[in-house]
Structure 1
Amino acid sequence: MIPTLRARFQQRFTPAGDGGPPDRFDRRLIAPMVLGSVLNPVNSSMIAVALVPIGSALGAPPSQTAWLVSGLYLATAVGQPVIGRLVDMFGPRRLYLIGTAMVGVAGLLGSVAPNLGALVAARVLLGFGTSAAYPAAMHLTRSEAERTGRDSPAGVLTALAVSAQTVSVIGPTLGGLLIGLGGWRTIFLVNVPLSLACLVLGALRLPKATKIAKGVNGVDRAAGSGGAPVPVARGIDLPGMALFAALLVALMVFLMKPRAEDWYLPVLALLAGAAFARRELRVPEPFIDLRVLGGNGPLLATFLRQFLSYTTAYAFLYGFTQWLEEGRGLHAAAAGLVLLPLSLTGLLVSAITGRREAVRGKLVVGSLVQIAGCAAMLTLQAGSALWLLAAIGALMGVPQGLNGLANQNALYRQADPARIGSAAGLLRTFMYLGAMAASAADAAFFQHGADTGGLHHLSLFMLAGAVLLLAVTVIDRSLGTLTPRKA
């Protein structure tokens, strides 16, 4: 009896990586992985129903409140691959803890921000803070496959994708309820308990270091489980990271409000991109190995599909939600409830299809449903019935439950295991690039408010992206060859 109790105690409280099941994924890792990974999507989606109340409270038009969306995505677009690279090199634990602590600080700052500028700064800090958990989770998934000698279970990847997708679509409803209970500042304050939960789970369950694979020069990125990280300072490509950041910042600032007088921004982006490519092709330990990435056409196609998928998804999330509040005249809480079918459909589709990879099939169906949803939006008017609005939301929930999961599974099969963290960060970067493009489209089509005419123009923009996604999927023959591989 006593030995049995002792064994159960040791199994429950032994730190992850110091005695996990030898042939199974250590399920103690799942809670911190999932909770940390949803910090970004929950903050990305809740803000959708808060833009109008924040604009009213702070006297800011939609063209300015759009920076609350773009600021976070700009930070995460830069931060995800940078932190992902550091995760590959030093292990996930310390980056996870630092990042989730930043989320709590950003939540506090946002809850007391006196003006829009301070609020945007809090969102930027939030973006950097939420950049650590997903690369850390993908790294842990791959390292567990190495440890067990088995291909990581589809259920683990599904849990990551389904949780992010679910939170993304539930976010507007949750945000609307929080705003109804305590005002728009509550969507910032909710990050404090979420951050504390991540810190506790991360400290108790994440391994102190993991070892996944050799680097390009045979240098270990981290020590074995429970050991101290191997300092690989020479592998930190700070100039490459800085050039990558300059490229994205210049490009995103221009996309936010394209104007002829800002011609210098795309020029700066082009110059930074050229300098970045030149450096990365010459240094022995590049931030992003362009030689490997350039030769991996299937992975590049996955990044493109991620961009297209989320351009349409986020254009709907932000644009349709703003139209519900301004064009249709609904309160933020009511708009969140109208979007509840979006949440339920996305969750149901993810749960039903999650354990089957079927990457190509999911992307084809997802893009076709996006096309149908965008066409349906063209029929909307200021007096459209609530049931029709809810039905369109439910329809758009189908690709929410398919596309992200399919792209994540594709990346796991296509990426270099030694750089799975940075590859996962890049996948999220392309998602954020899609969100930035969507935000720019919303600002362009809703220059004088979210009216019905602007919604129809936005729908045509979304329709073009969905058609292109379908074309890129159909012509990519490599999707039919993706199969589970051994660690």
Structure 2
Amino acid sequence: MSNSFGPGGVGGNRSGLAVAGLSLGTALNPLNSSMIAVALVVLRADFGLDVATVTWVITAFYLTSAAGQPLMGRLADRFGPRRLFMLGMVLVAVTCALAPFAPNFAVLCVARAFMALGTATAYPSAIVMVGALARQGNVSSTRPLGRIQMANASAAAAGPVVGGVLVGLIGWQALFLINVPLTLAAMILVRQFAPADAHRERGRARELLRDSDIPGILAFVGALVLVMMALLNVAPGSRWWLLAGGVLLAGLFVWRELRFTPPFLDLRLLGRNRPLLLVYLGFALFNGVYYFAFFGLPQLLQEAGKYEPGVVGLLMLPLAAVSVVVTPAAVRAIDRFGVRRVLVSGVVLLIAASGMMWLLTASFAVALVLALTALLGLPYGVVSIASNQGLYLSTRPEERGVAAGIFQTCRYLGAITATVLIGIFYGSGVNQANWGLMVLVMLGLGAVVLLVSLAWRERR
């Protein structure tokens, strides 16, 4: 029986099947964050909503995911990753079974928030289990990480296509119901084949509650939510008040964490862990560049290029397809050349791809667009897996859950920052001139990512 995570298949291999279950669970978050986009028009018609209101079904998911990831990571570190993964999948399955019967749009948004909270358990839990799975399969940690990365990229790419088919054949309700069999499959695989949790904190409920740093957690989540609401401008006219409140809560959070033992987030340790800080900074900036293209390019192709939405979806598919194909090659390169060299190479590819986007100021030819979206898929696959491995190497095993949660939050912060900047640049019109200005910003951010990547060293 094979012990490999390689392309030869996972068959009866326990570790491979466990990774398959974890990959399926982690894919639910990007899948549900992307396929809902095709249901917005149908939701507006069914519930009688305007354009601004219907976007709350997306905002609720993003806010809860970004705030919930670090919290779920903390719980995975304390009480066991497999246990937390199972609870998260149960929450998703129950929520998605009931959501189609939502009596109004507000309840539907609440259901989306619960979905986000449940799916937020998957990635931190998977990262905490990676070490045990790698030892069980007798492979390097890059192999299971690569599988998880491929599942996430594939889900994000397939989301709009799957969502379009489901909404067209059944309705928006199918976007929730499809999660029930997927979560059940993930639960069965992880329950049967993932290693049991090594330990679980025990004690009186009052003691566990006291040691959980509830005020620190609330301050962290509150600051993050307020800042993100300000960036998304979900309450027009109150953006600066939200931002001020977020900064105030962030200050209180820092004050609290420096004085409480054990803290939710050990800021002193984080301050001493320069590699981890650089991973976070580089990943957030990288996602800022990537989502500049991911969100900005489809609008450009529709408004300035006059392509139909369905055609635009097909034109964007090479991005995800190439990122999935390149991930196994990046995994092998990391094993051979090390994380830093692969990371730096990926960022150089990112800068090159960003620069090539300038060609769209002159032409929207189908062949050119397909080539450029495929080119952008290269750095996404390479930098994503290298950053994941950099995170893994930069943290101790007992810290990986909360570290992975914050890592995912960096992804959301980069994506949301990109959408805000896109709104600024496209404010005067979605045209090739403004796209050229956005390309300059992408190049500038890419240069900063390169400097951060060059400064990163594996933590000893």
TM-score interval, normalised by the smaller of the two chains: 0.7 to 0.9
Q: Separation in 2 of the partners of 1:273 and 1:56?
A: 40
Equivalent position of 1:195 in the other structure:
183
- Judge conservation of contact 2:15–2:136 (CA < 8 Å) in 1: no
Output the CA distance in 1 between the equivalents of 2:113 and 2:362: 34
**1:430 partnered with 2:430:** no
Task: Give the Cα separation in 1 of the matches to 2:111 and 2:428.
Answer: 26
Q: 1:137 offset after TM fit, Å?
A: 0.9
CA contact (8 A) 2:339 2:386 kept: yes
1-structure distance, mates of 2:343, 2:444: 16
- What SS is found at the alignment partner of 2:332? coil
CA distance in 2, matches of 1:115, 1:460: 44
Q: Alpha-carbon deviation of 1:166?
A: 3.1
Residue correspondence of structure 1 range 327-476 to structure 2 within 5 A? 327-357=304-334, 358-380=338-360, 384-446=364-426, 452=432, 455-474=435-454, 476=455
Query: Which whole-Å CA distance do the structure 2 matches of 1:111 and 1:311 have between them?
Result: 34
Match of 2:220 among 236, 244, 250: 244
Q: Distance in 1 between the 2:179 and 2:16 partners? A: 25
Q: Secondary structure at the match of 1:338?
A: helix
CA contact (8 A) 2:132 2:195 kept: no
In the alignment, is residue 159 of structure 1 matched against residue 135 of structure 2?
no
**1:77 partner letter:** A
Partner of 1:78: 67
Q: What CA distance in whole angstroms lies between the structure 2 residues aligned with 1:33 and 1:341?
A: 25
Tell me if the contact between 1:48 and 1:321 (Cα under 8 Å) persists in the aligned partners.
Answer: no
Report if aligned partners of 1:66, 1:439 keep a CA contact under 8 Å in 2. no
Match of 2:272 in 1: 295
CA contact 1:173–1:337 (8 Å) conserved in 2:
no
Name the amino acid aligned to 1:209: D
Q: Taking structure 1 as reference, are residues 321 and 424 closer, same or farther at Cα in structure 2, changes over 3 Å only? A: same
- Following TM superposition, by how much is the alpha carbon of 1:417 offset from its aligned partner in structure 2, in angstroms? 1.5
Counterparts of 1:129 and 1:346, CA distance in 2: 26
Structure 2 alignment gaps of length 5 or more: 2-11
User: Tell me, what secondary structure is at the counterpart of 1:355?
Assistant: helix
> Comparing 97-106 with 273-282, which one deviates more in the overlay?
97-106
Contact 1:72 1:124 in 2 (8 A): yes
The alignment-based identity, stated in percent, is 35
Q: Tell me the residue number matched to 1:284.
A: 261
CA distance in structure 2 between the partners assigned to 1:55 and 1:377 by the alignment: 34
Q: Give 1:319 shift.
A: 2.5
Alignment of 1:51-66 (within 5 A): 60-61=50-51, 66=55
Q: Distance in 2 between matches of 1:285 and 1:298?
A: 22
Q: Which has the higher helix share?
A: 2
Which whole-Å CA distance do the structure 1 matches of 2:246 and 2:33 have between them? 25
Structure-1 residue corresponding to 2:125: 136
CA 387–447 in structure 1, closer or farther in 2 if over 3 Å, else same: same
Q: C-alpha distance in 1, partners of 2:29/2:137?
A: 31
The residue that corresponds to 1:308 in the other structure is 285
1:59 to partner: Cα distance: 5.3
CA positional deviation for 1:459? 3.6
Work out the CA distance in 2 between the residues paired with 1:348 and 1:328: 28
User: Structure 1 residue 36: deviation in Å?
Assistant: 0.8
**1:352-383 deviation per Cα after TM superposition (whole angstroms, max 9, x unaligned):** 12133232233323323333333333443697
TM-score normalised by L of structure 2: 0.84
| Cα distance in 1 between the residues matched to 2:83 and 2:188 | 13
**In 2 relative to 1, CA 384–54 (structure 1 residues): closer, same or farther, beyond 3 Å?**
farther
Shift of 1:267: 1.9
Deviation at 1:384, TM superposition (A): 1.6
Q: Judging changes above 3 Å, is the alpha-carbon distance between structure 1 residues 458 and 242 closer, same or farther for their aligned structure 2 residues?
A: same
CA–CA distance in structure 2, aligned partners of residues 144 and 373 of structure 1: 35
- Where 1:334 maps in the other structure, the secondary structure is helix
Q: Which residue of 2 aligns with 1:168?
A: 156
Following the alignment from structure 1 to structure 2, what is the Cα–Cα distance between the partners of residues 239 and 329?
Answer: 51
The structural deviation recorded for 1:208 is: 4.9
- Quick check: 1:45 aligned with 2:34? yes
**Which runs of no fewer than 5 residues in structure 1 stay unpaired?**
1-7, 9-20, 212-220, 224-228
Alpha-carbon distance between aligned partners in 2 of 1:210 and 1:287, rounded to the nearest angstrom: 21
Q: Partners in 2 of 1:388 and 1:394 — Cα distance?
A: 10
After superposition, the Cα gap between the structure-2 partners of 1:363 and 1:111, relative to the gap in structure 1 and judged at 3 Å, is: farther
Q: Please, which moves more after superposition, 243-252 or 86-95?
A: 86-95
What TM-score, normalized by structure 1, do the two folds share? 0.80
Distance in 1 between residues matched to 2:248 and 2:227, nearest whole Å:
11
Q: Quick one: which amino acid aligns to residue 232 of structure 2?
A: M
Letter in 2 for 1:290: L
Instruction: Supply the distance in 1 between the matched residues of 2:173 and 2:179 (Cα, whole angstroms).
Output: 11
Deviations 1:313-352 (A, max 9, x none): 2232223234444444444433222122112211121121
Number of equivalenced pairs: 442
Distance in structure 1 (CA, Å) of the matches to 2:361 and 2:167: 26
Q: Residues of 2 paired with 1:153 and 1:348: CA distance? A: 19
SS at 2:333 equivalent: coil
Task: Flag the 1:149–1:102 CA change in 2: closer, same or farther, 3 A.
Answer: closer
